[in-house]
């Protein structure tokens, strides 16, 4: 039997594709997504119900670019939401957000006589990185509308919200709102070994239940492992050689897998490292 590391994590990483969609993108967890979104939305756009829409949207022809969103949903009253988890830095993050937001706008076009009235569109990006390090005033949340030269809102139906998770550093005793609790939950979920007292309420209890690794089927766990590898790969994009005094990308990934409690056989399979190289990392 393969050696299992004693530091097995109890909950999955919500920044992985699998974890994010398991937590927010399934019918059974829809109430979590509604509760989270309502912390970001104005009173007049609070959500009571929503439906998931196809997250793959094609342009006019098959040759045009395909847009794939993490979660694409619509409220009962017609508001449309794109919710994404971004793990790695993108060169054209703002361009990408604008491009994706055009799909739910264009799909509202009606054939025949139409007065061009649109339902609101919200693009919400949860960023696992700080995208505006060069800015003099770094903001955890960027809340963006179309405004005129005097700063007055020109059009409020297209709204972008960027949450820079590295800039959220509140401790448990500093949480002041339900939104704070959500951010604390998302940022620290993978490191929890029990439910903190401040998160011991029904909506978060359900989140912890969904995120518990022991509750995943063998197929789901394998999908999560692959998703976790992709996450680490993005986090360790600089692949330097041993000769330069830096760990290689494979070793960095192996270290992360050790911390997660993966078996030696699985680490060998997914990193290409030998058993001896992995054993050395365990010392």
> Which DSSP string do the residues of the chain spell out, in sequence order?
-----TT--SB--TTSHHHHHHHHSSGGGHHHHHHHHHTTS-GGG--S-EEE--SEEE-SSTTSPEEE-SEEEEETTS-EEEEEEE-S--TTHHHHHHHHHHHHHHTT--SSS-------EEEEEEESS-TTTT-SS--SEEEEEEE-TTS-EEEEEEEEEEEEGGG----GGG--SHHHHHHHHHHHGGG-SS--GGG-SHHHHHHHHHHBGGGS-HHHHHHHHHHHHHHHHHHT-----GGGTS--HHHHHHHHHHHHT--HHHHHHHH---HHHHHHHH-
In a domain, 9, yes or no: no
Neighbours of 190 (CB within 10 A): 20
Q: What is the pLDDT of residue 255?
A: 80
The token duo for 171 is 């401790």
- Determine, yes or no, domain membership for 2: no
> Are 203 and 242 contained in the same domain?
no
Strand order in the sheet with 141-147: 50-52, 71-75, 80-86, 121-127, 153-164, 141-147
Residue 12: pLDDT above 50? Answer: yes
Instruction: For residues 156-160, give the mean pLDDT.
Output: 93
Q: Within 10 A of 252 (CB to CB), how many other CB atoms are there?
A: 19
Residue 188 pLDDT more than 60?
yes
200 and 259 in a single domain? The answer is: no
22 and 147, same structural domain? yes
The answer as to whether 219 is a domain residue is no
Residues 173 and 102 in one domain: yes
Residue 228 lies in a domain: no
Q: Give the residue-averaged pLDDT of 157-169.
A: 93
Give the residue numbers spanning the domain of 248: 236-282
- Per-residue pLDDT band for 129 (boundaries 50, 70, 90) equals confident
139 lies in the same domain as 182: yes
pLDDT digits (tens, 9 = 90+) for 234-259: 766 433 333 333 356 777 788 878 87
Whether 88 is covered by a domain: the verdict is yes
Over residues 29-50, the mean pLDDT reads 93
- Confidence (pTM): 0.78
Residue 10 lies in a domain: no
Boundary-marking domain end, from 212, 227, 254: 212
Length of the chain: 283
Instruction: Tell me: do 244 and 146 sit in the same domain.
Output: no
Q: For residue 105, what are the contacts with CB-CB under 8 A and spacing of at least 6?
A: 118, 121, 158
Average pLDDT over residues 198-206: 97
Q: How confident is the model at residue 65 (pLDDT cuts 50, 70, 90)?
A: low
**165: confidence class by pLDDT, cuts 50, 70, 90:** very high
Number of domains within the chain: 2
Asked, for residue 89, whether it belongs to a domain, the answer is: yes
Residues 118 and 168 in one domain: yes
What is the arithmetic mean of pLDDT over 179-197? 96
23 in the same domain as 158 = yes
243/208 same-domain check: no
Q: Are residues 241 and 171 in the same domain?
A: no
pLDDT of residue 243: 36
Residues 24, 87 share a domain: yes
- 94 inside domain: yes
Q: Are 190 and 63 found together in one domain?
A: yes
CB 45 within 8 A of CB 78: no
């Amino acid at each position: 039997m393969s050696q299992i590391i004693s530091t097995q994590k109890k909950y999955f990483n919500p920044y992985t594709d699998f974890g994010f969609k398991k937590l927010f993108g399934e019918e059974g967890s829809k109430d979590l997504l509604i509760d989270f979104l309502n912390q970001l939305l104005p009173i007049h756009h609070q959500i009571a119900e929503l439906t998931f829409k196809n997250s793959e949207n094609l342009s006019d022809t098959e040759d045009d670019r395909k847009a794939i969103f993490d979660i694409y949903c619509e409220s009962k009253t017609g508001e449309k939401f794109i919710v994404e988890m971004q793990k790695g830095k993108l060169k054209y993050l703002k361009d990408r957000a604008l491009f994706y937001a055009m799909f739910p706008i264009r799909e509202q076009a009606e054939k025949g006589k139409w007065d061009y009235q649109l339902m609101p569109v919200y693009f919400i990006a949860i960023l696992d990185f700080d995208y505006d390090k060069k800015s003099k005033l770094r903001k955890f949340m960027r809340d963006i509308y179309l405004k005129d030269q005097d700063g007055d809102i020109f059009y409020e139906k297209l709204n972008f919200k960027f949450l820079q998770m590295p800039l959220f550093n509140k401790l448990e005793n500093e949480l002041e709102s339900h939104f704070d609790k959500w951010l604390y939950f998302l940022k620290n979920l993978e490191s929890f070994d029990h439910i903190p007292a401040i998160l011991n309420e029904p909506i978060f209890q359900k989140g912890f239940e969904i995120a518990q690794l022991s509750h995943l089927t063998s197929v789901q766990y394998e999908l999560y492992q692959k998703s976790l590898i992709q996450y680490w790969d993005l986090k360790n994009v600089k692949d330097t050689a041993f000769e330069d005094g830096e760990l290689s990308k494979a070793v960095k990934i192996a270290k992360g897998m050790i911390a997660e409690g993966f078996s030696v056989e699985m680490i060998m399979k997914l990193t290409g490292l030998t058993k001896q190289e992995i054993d050395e990392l365990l010392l």
